[in-house]
Every structure is written in C-alpha cells, then in structure tokens.
Structure 1
Amino acid sequence: MPSVNGEDEVMARPIGVKTAKAKAKRPMGEEGKNLQELRQMWEIKANDLAMKDKLSKTKLLDNLLAKTEPLSELKVALKNKLITEMLSK
C-alpha cells in the first residue's frame, strides 16, 4: 500500500477471530511432553480403577462374611471365589 510519503509500506493485518481461536487451542509445549502427561494420567486412571474394583470386591466379601443366615449355593461359590482371589494376590 502506498503511504503518504510515497514509500511502499507493508502494514500488518490484525489476525481474524477464527485464526485467534485456532491459535489459542494449539498446545503450547512439545507434542512429546503432552503425550507423556496423557500416558501418566492414563496410568493413574487405570490404577484408580483397579483399586476401586478391589475395594468393591472387598466390601462384597465383607457383606457375605457378615451374614449370619445360611447362604445360597451361588453366594457360597462367590464367597469362595473372592477369598481365593484375595489370597492369591
């Protein structure tokens, strides 16, 4: 664009709204770092799910052991299975 002084001057255009949003959504760090953080979060989540599963099995076994009335065959089999799982680990 010609300027008032007769010099050719390149003016920087402001970025558009879509470009600004796309730029804001891009990751700031390296891709490897983000992947490593994602893997760490996945490991934590997997460990958390394993602990929740173990806790639920423990609660179920506690409930089965606490019952005073005779258990059905299915409940006895479940109790024995849970006990062997707990002892094997």
Structure 2
Amino acid sequence: MPSVNGEDEPMARPMGVKAAKAEAKRPVGEEGKNLQELRQMWEIKAKDLIMKDKLSKTKLLDSLLAKTEPLSELE
C-alpha cells in the first residue's frame, strides 16, 4: 500500500513518550563512560571530605594541646 505523499516506503512512526524517557535513562556508549567518571569523581570527593575532617580534628587537638593555661569547660 503506497503512502499518502506518493512515496513507496511508509513513514516510520515517531517514538512515544515512555519509549523516549526509557531511551534517555539508558546509559549507552559515551553516556556509560560519563557515568563511570562521575562515580569515580564522587568517590574521590568523599575521600577528600574524610581527609579534611580528620585534618580539622587534628588541628583542633593540636591547638588544645598547645595551650598552657587550664582549659575552660567549653573547650
């Protein structure tokens, strides 16, 4: 059966809303690599935050140990 506009091949139907959303969520090719890079950056950031927290606690401890006068109740 020929199409309406006189061509031999019928036109393909457009992608539905649900199919388009599923396609957008599926990591394929480059998108999969980007997801893996993002996870690696997140792990590095988490390790960095842990190290900053330890360093902050160490600095606080050093400052408290450096004091010669008695500590207040708050300290």
TM-score bracket for this pair, using the shorter chain length: 0.5 to 0.7
Report percent identity of matched pairs. 91
- 4+ aligned runs moved over 6 Å, structure 1: none
**Shift in Å at residue 53 of structure 1?**
0.7
Aligned residues: 72
Q: TM-score, normalised by structure 2?
A: 0.58
Structure with the larger helix share: 1
**Shift in Å at residue 57 of structure 1?**
0.4
RMSD after superposition: 3.6
Structure 2: unaligned runs, 5 residues or longer? 1-28
1-side partners of 2:43 and 2:74: how far apart? 35
Q: TM-score, normalised by structure 1?
A: 0.49
Structure 1: unaligned runs, 5 residues or longer? 1-28, 76-89
Residues 9-64 of structure 1 show CA distances to partners (whole Å, capped at 9, x for unaligned) of xxxxxxxxxxxxxxxxxxxx521110000000011011111101100100000000
